């Protein structure tokens, strides 16, 4: 027995050394295996992540070369990681304006007669889907999720061939790209680009008249949830049944005739609220019932009972004023770029932020995947949803069209997550007639899609129409910062541009400050930077951080802040943590500084 075991180990080592076994194992592994849409989960689904074939199309001649009919390209890539990332197995970081993906798949025979949906978490930027050489559809938008009903293109139990064409012209100035760099080398506030598939791809089976999605509106004051469903199809006599559970106990149930967007009100006795202190979530079961009273479709989800509103210059959560201690989170990873290497990494980033004293984050210039919002909901972590608006021209009609269609999809997808307490479509805008029109349209559309949350039209620089008033200030001298934030006869609050819409008493947030440079170990790049002159010692760093934060906490009109930033991102080394998520500081000391609210703060003059 020992001899046989030794022989098997020796053979295993040989195979690992030659790489053949490693390749076979890697081909079988499924990265990011968790269900990607936790608020709307079906039991019958297939994860499409893993090894795909691909080719770059630098000449943009793939159609002429008949790529839609390809049975496999020469090179391999690990989905859902972008080709620029290490985790993809490619690691190509120059510009990729066009590429193609291919893989084969088989829909289970048990799905025969059901509606088969193919979901893409995100593909940057424009994509065309082909099944067995036939064009199924096209999508524009690098950060929004989309799906196709592929039922008529496939046969259950038969192998199908999928080809995806991708176009991504980051430098066009007409597509939102966030912090993706316009130059080959990352510099300033711009970093390594993301091209193509960068979130999970999956298949799922739904009933012919199954539930497509459901907007959950918590109504705390009336002790109820309001559900607004949409269906793939509706027949007379069909009903929607909604069950609300507290753990394993069903606490409410309602059944209504099924119709698109017709509300279903579910009342609760003594509802438990969701908050950072107590992030309680109700489990939800949605059932579509046919006229024979047979359940034809079932989806599991969850909901949080919480209320966000504005009174005067204060933001309220569950009818109590709240001070936001936010951190700027850009959601970049050294090995995955825009894609977290694991689900645990998403949870860890939130935990790291809370360990530093923050109660939430401004999700900056990137649309975070739904699993992040799930962990924020579970952990009681507040966020503002933002787009990747950088990369578009301020005064270009095509830019506006591209932005608005993508932003609509973003709000529609994420509007039921309780941890999101506000929307911020733009960042650091500059004004102009067409730009102001685009901002106004974005705000108006947001309020139609989701009337429950306040909108910060543009974080910093130039407001057009906004529920929240925000500004950015990276002054590194605490006393100078105090002078700048002190109200004057010309302005009751600090603002970045006197030509923008005037302050009208909204809740005010300094939603970017700090950015203090501190390099722990070796600098990431020869162009590493942070705001102002970096401190010479750790004690100087702590002292500056505390005094800058003291100024904000002692300024009466400020309702919250956002510190730049959670982690270093490539050459921008001003994070609370290193880019690889290792610690830079004594976190207990950091938390003592950043975990305070104005109510517990005593100013130098002794004013509480």
**Residue 396 has what pLDDT?**
87
Antiparallel, parallel or unpaired: β 360-363 and 382-386? parallel
What is the pTM assigned to this prediction? 0.93
Give me the mean pLDDT over the 489-500 stretch. Answer: 91
**Residue 201 has what pLDDT?**
98
CB 423 within 8 A of CB 445: no
**Residue 434 has what pLDDT?**
87
Q: Kindly state whether residue 19 falls inside one of the protein's structural domains.
A: no
Distance between CA 123 and CA 142 in Å, rounded?
Answer: 5
Domain count for the chain, please give it: 3
Give me the mean pLDDT over the 381-392 stretch. Answer: 96
Percentage of the chain beyond pLDDT 70 is 94
Same domain flag for 408 and 513: yes
- For 357: left if phi > 0, alpha if psi spans -120 to 50, otherwise beta; the answer is left
User: At 330, which CATH number?
Assistant: 3.20.20.80
Higher pLDDT, 10 or 265: 265
Q: Kindly state whether residue 10 falls inside one of the protein's structural domains.
A: no
Distance between CA 278 and CA 156 in Å, rounded?
Answer: 45
Identify the CA nearest to 494 among candidates 512, 514, 477: 512
**Residue 393 has what pLDDT?**
87
- With cut-offs at 50, 70 and 90, classify the pLDDT of residue 26: very low
3-state SS, residue 349 = helix
pLDDT digits (tens, 9 = 90+) for 214-260: 999 999 999 999 999 999 999 999 999 999 999 999 999 999 999 99
Q: Kindly state whether residue 100 falls inside one of the protein's structural domains.
A: yes
At which of 148, 178, 206 does a domain end? Answer: 206
Instruction: Calculate ∠ Cα 62-63-66, nearest 5°.
Output: 90
At which of 174, 206, 238 does a domain end? Answer: 206
Give me the mean pLDDT over the 19-37 stretch. Answer: 65
Same domain flag for 463 and 355: yes
Q: Kindly state whether residue 608 falls inside one of the protein's structural domains.
A: no
Q: Kindly state whether residue 74 falls inside one of the protein's structural domains.
A: yes
pLDDT digits (tens, 9 = 90+) for 509-525: 999 999 999 999 899 99
User: At 261, which CATH number?
Assistant: 2.60.40.10
Give me the mean pLDDT over the 92-106 stretch. Answer: 98
At which of 273, 303, 333 does a domain end? Answer: 303
Q: Kindly state whether residue 348 falls inside one of the protein's structural domains.
A: yes
The structure tokens listed for 514 are 């700090």
Mean pLDDT across the chain: 93
**Residue 16 has what pLDDT?**
33
CB 325 within 8 A of CB 561: yes
Same domain flag for 416 and 559: yes
Same domain flag for 291 and 190: no
**Residue 6 has what pLDDT?**
36
Residue 29 in this model has a pLDDT that exceeds 90: no
User: At 134, which CATH number?
Assistant: 2.60.120.260
Same domain flag for 48 and 129: yes
pLDDT digits (tens, 9 = 90+) for 127-170: 999 999 999 999 999 999 999 999 999 999 999 999 999 999 99
Same domain flag for 335 and 475: yes
Same domain flag for 149 and 247: no
Residue 286 in this model has a pLDDT that exceeds 80: yes
Residue 526 in this model has a pLDDT that exceeds 70: yes
Q: Kindly state whether residue 605 falls inside one of the protein's structural domains.
A: no
Same domain flag for 502 and 569: yes
**Residue 432 has what pLDDT?**
83
Distance between CA 571 and CA 196 in Å, rounded?
Answer: 24
- With cut-offs at 50, 70 and 90, classify the pLDDT of residue 552: very high
- With cut-offs at 50, 70 and 90, classify the pLDDT of residue 602: low
Same domain flag for 295 and 407: no
Same domain flag for 397 and 462: yes
The residue range of the domain holding 88 is 25-206
Distances (CA, A) of 9 to 3, 6, 15, 81: 10, 5, 10, 32
Q: Kindly state whether residue 58 falls inside one of the protein's structural domains.
A: yes
CB 123 within 8 A of CB 406: no
CB atoms within 10 A of CB 539: 9
Same domain flag for 298 and 328: no
3-state SS, residue 380 = coil
pLDDT digits (tens, 9 = 90+) for 297-331: 999 999 999 999 999 999 999 999 999 999 999 99
**Residue 24 has what pLDDT?**
35
Same domain flag for 254 and 402: no
């Amino acid at each position: 027995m020992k001899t046989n075991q030794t022989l098997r180990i020796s053979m295993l080592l040989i195979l690992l050394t030659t790489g053949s076994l490693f390749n076979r194992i890697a081909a079988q592994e499924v990265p990011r295996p968790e269900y990607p849409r936790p608020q709307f989960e079906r039991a019958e689904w297939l994860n499409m992540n893993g090894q795909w074939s691909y080719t770059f199309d630098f000449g943009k001649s793939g159609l002429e070369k008949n790529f839609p009919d390809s049975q496999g390209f020469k090179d391999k890539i690990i989905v859902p990681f972008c080709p620029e990332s290490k985790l993809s197995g490619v690691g190509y970081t120059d510009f990729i304006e066009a590429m193609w993906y291919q893989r084969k798949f088989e829909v289970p025979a048990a799905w025969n007669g059901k509606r088969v949906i193919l979901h893409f978490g995100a593909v940057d930027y424009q994509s065309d889907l082909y099944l067995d050489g036939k064009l199924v559809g096209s999508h524009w938008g690098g950060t929004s999720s989309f799906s196709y009903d592929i039922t008529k293109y496939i046969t259950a139990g038969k192998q199908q061939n999928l080809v995806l064409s991708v176009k991504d012209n980051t430098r066009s100035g007409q597509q939102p790209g966030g912090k993706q760099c316009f130059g080959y080398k990352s510099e300033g506030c711009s970093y390594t680009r993301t091209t193509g598939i960068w979130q999970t791809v999956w298949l799922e089976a739904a009933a012919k008249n199954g539930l497509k999605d459901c907007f959950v509106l918590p109504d705390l004051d009336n002790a109820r949830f309001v559900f607004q469903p949409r269906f793939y199809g509706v027949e007379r006599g069909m009903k929607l049944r909604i069950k609300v559970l507290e753990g394993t106990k069903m606490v409410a149930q309602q059944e209504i005739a099924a119709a698109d967007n017709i509300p279903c009100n579910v009342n609760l006795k003594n509802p438990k609220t969701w908050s950072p202190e107590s992030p309680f979530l109700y489990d939800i079961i949605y059932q579509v019932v046919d006229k024979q009273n047979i359940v034809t479709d079932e989806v599991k989800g969850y909901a949080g009972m919480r209320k966000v509103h504005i009174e005067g210059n204060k933001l309220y959560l569950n009818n109590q004023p709240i001070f936001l201690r936010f951190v700027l989170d850009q959601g970049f990873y050294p090995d995955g770029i825009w894609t977290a290497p694991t689900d645990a990494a998403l949870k860890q980033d939130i935990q790291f932020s809370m360990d530093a004293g923050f109660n939430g984050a401004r999700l900056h210039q990137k649309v975070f995947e739904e699993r992040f919002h799930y962990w924020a909901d579970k952990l009681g972590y507040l966020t503002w949803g933002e787009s990747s608006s950088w990369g578009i021209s301020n005064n270009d009609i095509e830019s506006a069209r591209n932005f608005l269609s993508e932003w609509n999809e973003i709000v529609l997808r994420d509007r039921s997550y309780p941890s999101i307490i506000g929307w911020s479509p733009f960042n650091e805008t500059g004004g102009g007639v067409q730009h102001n029109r685009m901002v106004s349209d974005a705000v108006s559309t947001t309020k139609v899609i989701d009337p429950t949350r306040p909108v910060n039209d543009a974080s910093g620089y130039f407001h057009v129409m906004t529920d929240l008033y925000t500004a950015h200030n990276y002054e590194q001298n605490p006393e100078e910062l105090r002078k700048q934030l002190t109200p004057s006869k010309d302005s009751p609050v600090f603002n970045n541009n006197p030509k923008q819409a005037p302050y009208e008493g909204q809740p005010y947030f300094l939603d970017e400050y700090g950015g203090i440079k501190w390099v722990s170990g070796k600098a990431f790049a020869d162009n590493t930077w942070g705001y102002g002159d970096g401190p010479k010692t750790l004690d100087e760093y702590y002292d500056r951080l505390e005094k800058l934060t003291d100024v904000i906490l002692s300024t009466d009109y400020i309702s919250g802040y956002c510190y730049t930033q959670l982690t270093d991102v490539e050459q921008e080394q001003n994070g609370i943590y290193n880019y690889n998520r290792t610690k830079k500081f004594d976190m207990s000391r950091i938390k003592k500084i950043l975990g305070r609210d104005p109510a517990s703060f005593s100013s130098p003059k002794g004013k509480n």
